[in-house]
Structures are given as structure tokens and as C-alpha cells.
Amino acid sequence: MPYANWIAGATDGFAPVRRTFMTQVSTLGKLAVVTAGVLGIATACGSTSTPSTSSSSSTSGKIGGSVTVWAEWTAQEQHDFLAALAPFESATGITVNYQGKGNNMDTALTAAVSGGSPPNVALVPDPGTLVSLAKGGSVKDLTSVLGGLTSNFGTAWNTLASYNGKQYGVWFKGANKNTIWYNPALFTQAGISSPPTSWEQLLSDAAQLKAAGITPFSLCTDVGWPVADMWQNVYLKTAGAAAYNKLASHALKWTDPTVTTAFTTLGQLFSQPSYLLGGLQGSLSNAYPACVDKVFPKPPAQPQAAMVFEGDFMVSEITGNSANYAPGTTGTGGAACTADASKTPCYNFFAFPAPAADSANNSAIQGAGDVAMMLTQTPQSTALMKYLAGPQPGTIWATLGGFASPNNQVKPSAYPDPVTQADAQALVGATSFVFSLDDLQGTWEPKMWADLLQFLQNPSSSNVSTIESTMDTQATAALGH
């Protein structure tokens, strides 16, 4: 679902991104570290003024002027984004005029383009908007602008920012939905020494947790988008990225056998109500982020389940519940992880696992993110696009927390802990990265969510056939084919 709606209290445009992972480092300190690396950008991007022969080199080659930027980020995320842009403004003399549009980013941008007054640069939370604007000639081809900077991103990311073989965007921010978050203390209580690496092992561990008196899953349902994210992960892991992308565009019908396989696989979990906190009925009322709190509660509450599935934006909820939570499998100060949130609780994640027979799909990742596009080309917007494609802004925001960059030049050491490092590295190293399928479905997305909630209510094979037929009819009506 839209990256900004994923997180309560955060406005992040398309479903969620996730605020502070933890340690907040002085913004001034960070800016001092990276400013030196940005000072050459004015010369690299060109200048509208003649370089000064004065001994004062600080103003030599500065571009000056201003650039208008729109994105979804408001509140803390806006603050962090502007901090990431501060060295650019200092080095180039360009003033960034930023507007945070929140959940209305796509709508606001479409209206501005139609009215002939778009911003110079916009960051949008889905590739569909980029493709639509590229088809209409409303965004600029960045192929020659970026040049070798495209090597800062893997093929999967560059493909998502392209249309008809031309580069139209830069993926500045990413989100990893290939994550199941677990409470290490509860795994230890159940005698589980390491997280599962296959779907079969996940079900086996769930049975072991249940036998130890621990409910395996707190299932997030909300209005249906978390269930969609979960189903999409299962489909990706069983059918692979190529089939996933065909289904997303409806080049593959929802009655295809690969769709049935995904329903059958997820049904192995949903058909075990005792594995779900509150059973099926309780899960249906488990909204986000309350579902996270059942695994990582605020003190003095105790956890009610061992695992919860959703994207990396969950971390902001976990650490927001208590500063006691430590990333990884060791508590603060090296103490053992405790289930008691008032002592030394921990949090960690493992990659959403594929069935053993489909292990080749384990490296495929479903996610989301924000892609930067240039709608009007000026020396200022050109310079900004080059800056966003480089490592400096991502490094600043990574250090601040609540951010993962697809840019392979943002060093792992920029992230505040091993868990966020692993999360970001998964995005950078993804050989197959697919965008959240429900976010690409247009007007029938809410109906898709409702269909998947019906499956949760009744995961029987007879109900699956009915749901598949309904979904294919809805997709055809919405997408026109």
C-alpha cells in the first residue's frame, strides 16, 4: 500500500517508512563529514556564472538560484530529508524550496502537471507514476544527465526507473518488505536457536513455539494491505519475479495455477488458527501498528506472540515503544535478551523464506520506495538529480535513522546497527526487486485487499477458486484487459 500509510504517525507517501531506527546523531556533525565530498558538485554539474579568479574559492563555480522539490515526506522525515540536502545547498549556492505533500503526493503532482506548473524535481512512491509521466513526455530523460552514476544502483533498481530503455528516475529511498520480525527471547524460550530459512521450517518453528505455550504470529490485517503484502511475498517466493511482474500487469490471469499455489501455500499457515494471536477472528481486527505491539510491547506489558510480518518500517514502532529495545540477539550492554520489555528486550528479523523447492527465489525481494524525477530541466535541477544519485544524501539520512538506500555507494557503516545494515544490504544486493503488487493495481487495490481478507476468513480450496475468479474480473475491469 502507499509507502506512507504503512506507519501510524508517519507521513511517508506510499505505505510506510519508518522513522527512527534508534541512535540520533548530531545533524551538524554529519553534515561536516559529508560537505567536503559535495563541494565539487557545482563544477561537475556546470555553472551559469563565470568562475571567480578571487582567492575566495568557496564561491567559485557556484550555481546559485533555486530548485522546487516535492515529495511525500513531512514531520521528522521532512526534517531528515532537508538535512540530507543541506550540503548540496552549501556547495552549490542553490536554495531548495521543498513542499511535503504527504499521502496526496501522486494526486498533487498529477494535477500540477496537468495545470502546467509542476515542480522542478519530484520524488514519488511508485514506479507506475514515473512510467505514466514518461509516456506523456512530462519527465526528462536522465540517461545523459546521470551517465556513470547509474552504476550506483543495481540493475533491478535502474530497470524500475526506466521506460522504453531510457532512464527517467533515481531511486533515492527504499523499503524492504522481505522481513519477518521476531522476539529473540521467545525463540530462545522455545528452544529455537536460529531463525528459519525455508517456508517449511517456518511452519515447523511455529509448531515448536506453540508447543512451548507461545503464540507464533501476531498477524497484521488492518484494511487488508498487510495481508496483501504477505500474500505477495508468498507469490514471489513460489512463482518468481518474472511471473510476479506479469501478474502485476495482468499479463497473467488471477486464475493461473501459480496464483493457486500461493494461496495454497499461505493457507498452510492461515488454516492453523492457533498459530495466530486471537485466531482468525482476532487477526481480522488486528490493525497496524497494534499488531507490532503484541510482539514488542511497551513496558510493563509482556509480548503475546513471537513474530510479526511487515516491512522494515516496523522498527520505528518497536523502538518507539521503548528505548530498551536493542537490535539483534543481545540486549543492551551485552545482556541476554529478555521477553520483559522493561529489562533488556531485543528485536531482529529474518528474510521471508521460500519453500525448499523454490529456494532459487529466496533472493527476490518485494519492497517499495521513492524515486526522484526531473520535470523541468535547469542547471539547478540537473545538479540536484546528480546529487541525489550520489552517496552523500543517502549517507546523511542513513546515519539519522529510519532510512534505507538502494545506492550501493552508501556504506554499511552509515547505518546505526547491524540489523539496519543487514536490511539495507538486502536492498542493495537484491538480484530481483519487485514493487508491491497491490500498489500497481490502480482503482481495484482496495477490492484486492478485501478479497484477501476473505481468504483469511476462509482459507479453504473451494473459497480460493471463488476469490481467484472475482479478483480476475476486478482486475480486468480496472486495468482494461
pLDDT of residue 39: 39
Give dist(CA 81, CA 84) in Å, integer: 5
The predicted-structure confidence for 377-401, as pLDDT tens digits, reads as follows 999 999 999 999 999 999 999 999 8
Give buried/exposed letters for 220-239 (b at 16+ CB in 10 A, else e): bbbebbbbbbbbbbbbbbbb
Cell 536522465 belongs to: 142
What does the block give as the cell for 93? 549556492
Hey, where are the domains in the chain? 27-50+60-175+372-437, 179-361
Please state, in angstroms and rounded to a whole number, the distance separating the CA atoms of residues 47 and 61: 6
DSSP state for residue 404 in the 8-state scheme = B
Predicted pLDDT of residue 61: 62
β-pairing verdict for 170-176 and 364-374: antiparallel
Q: Residue 351 in contact with residue 177, Cβ under 8 Å?
A: no
* pLDDT of 469 strictly over 50: yes
What is the reported pLDDT for 36?
39
Q: What is the mean predicted confidence (pLDDT) over 32-60? A: 36
Q: What is the per-residue pLDDT for 27? A: 37
**Taking residues 170-178, what's their average pLDDT?**
96
Residue 30: per-residue pLDDT: 36
Domain at 27-50+60-175+372-437: CATH code:
3.40.190.10
Nearest residue to 14 via CA among 127, 114, 131:
127
Region 346-355 average pLDDT? 98
> Phi then psi for 213, rounded to 5 degrees?
85, 20
DSSP string, 175-230: EE--EEEE-HHHHHHTT--S--SSHHHHHHHHHHHHHTT---B----TTSHHHHHH
Question: Do 27-50+60-175+372-437 and 179-361 fold alike per CATH?
Answer: yes
Mean pLDDT of 332-359: 97
* Segment among 137-141, 240-244, 440-444 with least mean pLDDT: 440-444
Pairing of the two strands 66-71 and 121-124: parallel
Average pLDDT of 397-422? 94
User: What per-residue confidence (pLDDT) applies to 415?
Assistant: 95
Digit-coded pLDDT (tens) for 239-255: 999 999 999 999 999 99
pLDDT in tens, 252-298: 999 999 999 999 999 999 999 999 999 999 999 999 999 999 999 99
pLDDT at 77: 93
Contact 220, 278 (CB under 8 A): no
| Cβ(423)–Cβ(404) below 8 Å | yes
What's the pLDDT at 476?
Answer: 97
**pLDDT tens digits along 183-227:** 999 999 999 999 999 999 999 999 999 999 999 999 999 999 999
Task: Spell out the CATH class of 179-361.
Answer: alpha beta
Nearest to 412 by CA among 434, 427, 433, 390: 427
Please determine, for residue 106, whether its predicted confidence score (pLDDT) is greater than 60: yes
Question: 28: part of which helix (H) or strand (E)?
Answer: helix 27-38
